[in-house]
């Protein structure tokens, strides 16, 4: 099946304060964000026409930019409104939203103190990140040779474009070798996350997840921790070593795109999605659709 390029689609994109034709949303080749990775972004999901935890994502976009040293010229409320404008204009009921902010092209060099800050928001229909078959039996991961950097070497608390370079490299290699994704260790050799999702494991009936001290503390991650505790499950945030995988019975990933996705294999070690994973998959599916159900009930 031929891929439809993302620069050649029907619809509209919100850019720098206004909606415009999808194909007209362009930047110059000498844009600072392209050359020096001065760009931040978000990934958001639309369920029933509503963006899940929209304001949290908009705030994180602003915070990510601040960490990189630039201020977005929009408030959370303005970003929220622009997001809903583009979702409705494109008639998205269930889909994905990608806000992205970057430094422009006034100055070309490492220093870009006076560059204009741009913001664009696009949305499109998007099913599950992994196929339904892969989600049911669990995806396969391969440990990457690339490590998540230390907090003193990179802006690890920002959802910054440059931090995903090693993720793309790791995922490409994993896919070439027959896996779905890669497991990322950190600079200490501890388990960190997958290439675009946080990781959880069940050990002795408790849910364990790495402390997010050098990688993004995902909005979905926090949502699932809350759901687990609401369901009477113990959640332990701690340093996790690769050898701890030997004692894990269930493993799953969480992320806006991945939602709650079971892991069936890591480097040949087999895991079976079971009660805890299945419970949280169902709880998350209900949670993301709760605002939609509430809105429908209010309209009756």
- Phi/psi class of residue 232: alpha, beta or left (left: φ > 0; alpha: ψ in -120 to 50)? left
Q: Exactly one of 26, 53, 66, 159 is catalytic; name it.
A: 159
Give every CB contact of residue 170 below 8 A, 6+ residues apart in sequence.
144, 145, 146, 182, 184, 195
**Rounded CA separation 8/18 (Å):** 19
Residue 159 is among the residues annotated as catalytic for this protein: yes
Neighbours of 44 (CB within 10 A): 24
Q: How many residues does the chain have?
A: 300
DSSP secondary structure letter of residue 116? P
- Token pair of 155, please? 């802006």
- Residue 86: CB atoms within 10 A of its CB come to 21
**What proportions of the chain, in percent to the nearest 5, are helix, strand and coil?**
35, 30, 35
Residues involved in catalysis: 159
């Amino acid at each position: 099946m031929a891929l439809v390029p993302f620069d050649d689609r029907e619809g509209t994109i919100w850019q720098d304060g206004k909606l415009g034709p999808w194909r007209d949303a362009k930047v110059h080749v000498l844009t600072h964000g392209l050359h020096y990775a001065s760009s931040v972004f978000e990934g958001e999901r639309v369920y029933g026409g509503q963006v899940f935890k929209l304001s949290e994502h908009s705030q994180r976009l602003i915070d990510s930019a601040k960490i990189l040293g630039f201020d977005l010229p929009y408030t959370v409320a303005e970003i929220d409104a622009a997001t809903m404008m583009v979702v409705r204009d494109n008639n998205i009921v269930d889909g994905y939203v990608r806000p992205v902010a970057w430094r422009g092209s006034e100055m070309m060099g490492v220093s870009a103190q006076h560059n204009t800050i741009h913001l664009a928001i696009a949305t499109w229909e998007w099913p599950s990140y992994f196929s339904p078959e892969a989600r049911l039996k669990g995806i396969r991961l391969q440990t990457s040779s690339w490590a998540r950097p230390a907090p003193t070497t990179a802006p690890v608390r920002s959802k910054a474009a440059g931090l995903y370079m090693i993720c793309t490299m790791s995922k490409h290699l994993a896919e070439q070798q027959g896996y779905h994704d890669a497991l990322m260790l950190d600079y200490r050799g501890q388990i960190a996350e997958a290439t675009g999702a946080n990781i959880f494991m069940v050990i002795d009936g408790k849910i364990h997840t790495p402390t997010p001290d050098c990688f993004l503390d995902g909005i979905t991650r926090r949502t699932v921790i809350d759901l687990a505790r609401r369901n009477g499950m113990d959640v332990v945030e701690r340093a996790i070593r690769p050898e701890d995988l030997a004692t894990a019975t269930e493993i799953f990933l969480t992320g806006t795109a991945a939602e709650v996705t079971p892991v069936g294999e890591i480097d040949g070690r087999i895991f079976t999605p079971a009660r805890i994973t299945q419970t949280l998959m169902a709880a998350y599916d209900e949670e993301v659709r709760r605002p939609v159900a509430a809105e429908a009930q209010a309209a009756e």
